[in-house]
Structure 1
């Protein structure tokens, strides 16, 4: 009689293979997803700067979401080390797997996660609020931190939207809007400063500015690069961060000495920064323009009162104008009543040697310098600027 044992063994093997859980799987609620394609994609950003960016991540796998909401990925490449990936869903009619939305974390269509070969990740999410709703079953420590970051970002973004709704869209409200944005970014920066999980920190840094613009938070970027560069010098994503945060690529940082700049003055002479600093206790280097509404308001409401109050005590202002029309420049300073302090401009518009030397692209911008030309503070406006100058000028003499 022929033995049936080999057949039994084969069937058991096949059944075990079919029941074995897939590396990444889960269920997605499609009940509110009529505009969404019932499909999910697994993407891999090639670089740190690619995280959260459209059309750059490589599609590793895709899976159809069944009518019961279940999906699974099975054809994943071997990944020995924890790797930052992105799950994404797409609306019907979108012809790309790697189109990522970064408009609102409540409705953004992707979720970052970390995976390596041998791990199992099981998720649940609603397709119409994919990033906001996603949860993981027994997540790793890194994925726990990513979900904590996601939740923090959601709360901070809601607060940002609510506070910004009361801010006018007029040019005059630019600094108010920038302040609200900085409050939102600060929540993410605080997370990056406190987490011990590298990949979660790198994600937080990218979410601080999905556009990759760190001009207003350059000190944060530099500090993060220094910290993670010391801990993981060979990690390719960290190496990219360190390169991005090289001082040669950033605006002058707080604590740095301002370079010895030449200023073509309104009077026609050219002054070196050291000549302007001589004998002064505090110098405000203000970068403005006659066409910049927030600059003009700050001229009248903040700078002029400060100059009148503290000029006798060694407070000076050197205003550099991004001007190409000398008449408009002079008219603006005279109308604002600020022609009493020092004014300079190359009259080359916003493409000028000073913006290049300081690596600036955004105004209004300012730097508060001590008598040596060291940057004590930067980009303070309104009440923050008033408080800093009041405190510094009324405090003990700085040696």
Structure 2
């Protein structure tokens, strides 16, 4: 499976401190990063949202054993801080920087004196000074084991990949699943013991896919203390929960209108009466192209029995998309978000990685998700054997 990120720079919830009327008066903060020694000309860079909801980057230079940065945040919010050593210049922003460099951490911006104590790299820094950062430090400590484990895992995975050692790759994949499950378990334990914290809401919003996991999210949101749910970020998240349709099993597949490869406007509901495989893919996705071979066999086998496929491309290039359609000899309807459309269907269906698909029955209900290979064949055999 190939993971992709939508064209966006940041996914943040603005957050308030506890209690009604606790929003910052003017949002002024002072961030002090104490560090014993660092190369001359080094800077810290802080990425956060401004009052217009745009990504902002501020920086501070190293003076007398510390970096000091003053600014204004419209509301308390989760932010990314990165260290650029010497004359490296401004770092590129990416949300997963904390997992790929020792010189990046998350913290919470809020009114007041935010203090960060650092040894020689930002990793392992101690957050103090404001309530949210003290609380976030508890969360960070609870999942520190996962980031520590990732160091050796990436090295072992890289070695196995270079050597094309499939047995090791399979073992490492299973190990990764176990460690990710342990991380989620630790995070859930944090959530259950911090129901009065905005940090818990932030974790909930970042962890779950509303479209695909709405039935899991709603009861967790309801567990949060009223002061969190009634805060501005709580209200915003609740509004999002209410507005995003669920694409979980048993629910009706959300309808949409988008252009096909010929520029014609197509609706999903126009396929009512057939079993439809709504297939999300892209020309640049190797696993997608490999799965196209299997889907084509399935299509040819069941197309006369009331089955069809609707492809939805996540390509950025129309030429690459259509070339892949031709090369893979895909005869079914091909849609994309490249044309004149008011909706991103991949977001509507909560698709964060490809290949991904939804099997929809003749009345428009979702009856299976992410079936591939033999699983897809067996499901269709079951449906058409009756």
How high is the TM-score relative to the length of structure 2?
A: 0.54
- Find the counterpart in structure 2 of residue 285 from structure 1: 278
- Find the counterpart in structure 2 of residue 28 from structure 1: 35
- Find the counterpart in structure 2 of residue 258 from structure 1: 253
**Partner Cα distance (1:143, 1:293) in 2:** 39
RMSD in angstroms over aligned alpha carbons?
A: 6.1
If asked which structure has higher relative contact order (CA below 8 Å, sep 6+), I would say 2
Residue 351 of structure 1: SS of its match in structure 2? coil
Post-superposition Cα deviations, 1:24-58, rounded to whole Å, max 9, x if no partner, equal 9886343xx33673x778997668x88xx761x7x
Post-superposition Cα deviations, 1:208-227, rounded to whole Å, max 9, x if no partner, equal 6xxxxx9x885358954774
Question: Which of residues 335, 345, 350 is equivalent to 2:338?
Answer: 350
- In the alignment of these two chains, the number of paired residues is 327
Give the superposition deviation at 1:105: 3.0
Give the superposition deviation at 1:316: 2.3
- Find the counterpart in structure 2 of residue 303 from structure 1: 295
Distance 1:369 1:83, change over 3 A: closer
How high is the TM-score relative to the length of structure 1?
A: 0.53
Q: Which has the larger radius of gyration?
A: 1
Post-superposition Cα deviations, 1:307-328, rounded to whole Å, max 9, x if no partner, equal 577779x672323365779996
**Partner Cα distance (2:235, 2:345) in 1:** 25
**Contact in 2 for aligned 1:321/1:329 (Cα 8 Å):** no
Alignment gaps of 5+ in structure 1: 1-22, 169-175, 209-213
Matches within 5 A, 1:1-399: 28-30=35-37, 33-34=38-39, 37=42, 55=57, 64-66=63-65, 89-93=83-87, 102-105=96-99, 107-113=101-107, 124-127=117-120, 129-130=121-122, 132-135=123-126, 140=134, 142-156=136-150, 159=153, 162-163=156-157, 193-196=188-191, 197=194, 198-201=197-200, 204=203, 218-220=211-213, 224=217, 227-228=220-221, 231=224, 232-242=228-238, 247-248=243-244, 252=247, 255-260=250-255, 273=268, 276-278=271-273, 282-288=275-281, 294-300=287-293, 302-307=294-299, 316-320=307-311, 331-332=326-327, 334=329, 339=331, 343-345=332-334, 350-351=338-339, 353=341, 356=344, 359=347, 364-378=355-369, 380=370, 382=372, 386-387=374-375, 390=378, 394=382
